[in-house]
A and B are shown apart, each in its own frame.
Chain A
């Protein structure tokens, strides 16, 4: 292999700014997607455990459908498939305000929401049944019991699998490059196109992802130690991308 490395392409000219901008977009996209995913995940995960069958089916249908279709397809669906169905005014507004970014947020949020849902559900299942019974017997309604007792405990139990899912979400945000969101992978390709320095550009992008994942894992490790409930851990479900 006779390849002349030239690492200076990473900071000369515009490339440094591109990488930095891409890093920020990845952070924004992941953060917003994460908020949507956690909100959808908590609601649908909790609904899957309630003693009312139609609500359980509804939540199960959401999870099963969105989880079993590739994220890329959801990206295309939200970016190309949805806008023609929207009212003209909203469509125009979106096209002027980076529609691809919002489509990316929707795709990530809804897809990972279905995956977070499974995590939350296993968290709620791992809480002893007596907690719910005790909550109800103190006079709380079912809604209050979920809101004040079960969900707060579940959230504290599921930090380890949530870390895993968060890392998956950050890595999956790279799929948004297919609809033109200028995140890190997109910028890496752009640098490759402009400088023909594939190796250096890809190494930079890879290192940024590794550093980002390491930082999130470390941060979540701290959160995990802080919120852990002694003697209780969530069972099952983790892993896989």
Chain B
């Protein structure tokens, strides 16, 4: 029985938000029949979904639903564990390569797809060296070139004005929010085509969270974004598309506004109205 009262959207979406679904968009990645196992435990089941270019796609769902596991398939992070098994495809555009294929080197995938983690994880090095590391890995060691790219990345991550006079300071001397923006700058410096965010604000205070959300909003013109969040309001605020996951399956996927105002599935509705999760 569907309770008509609970059809009220839990989150009010700002009136000024242009509905993304009306704008033409370009496909960046297509997930086809994705299964994933940790050893013998199946964590993801038959996921199909599209990631559009220059859009923010949010993954929501109760903890343990597999949203982080799904995110980590995109940069083959699971390859670091011996017993992980992928099946299905993630076709990455424009070259239509299946990034899960065994013949594709995970390092090559990570060169194109960046990631920002749940807790800020700067290296115990200077601010400069943190942002420079992705470029150094790619063989860029020219000081002037590095300095240019680092300034650009720090500006994009709206951190430049706060750190420009102390680039040689240890990254640990920054506040939590600054550290997370540093990690975003570190990922941006390598000019990724797709940027993965794994609950990037869960360790931050509301002010720093707002900063990061602003940043995500501004970045999407430049890079496609896939973000995991346990915070539905955040998904509503920053994303164009939202996927609701439950027990390793993709329950519903669609334009964020439509999913929050008019969910098609009972489970989605229960979750976004706060009945469980």
Do A and B form a real pair? no
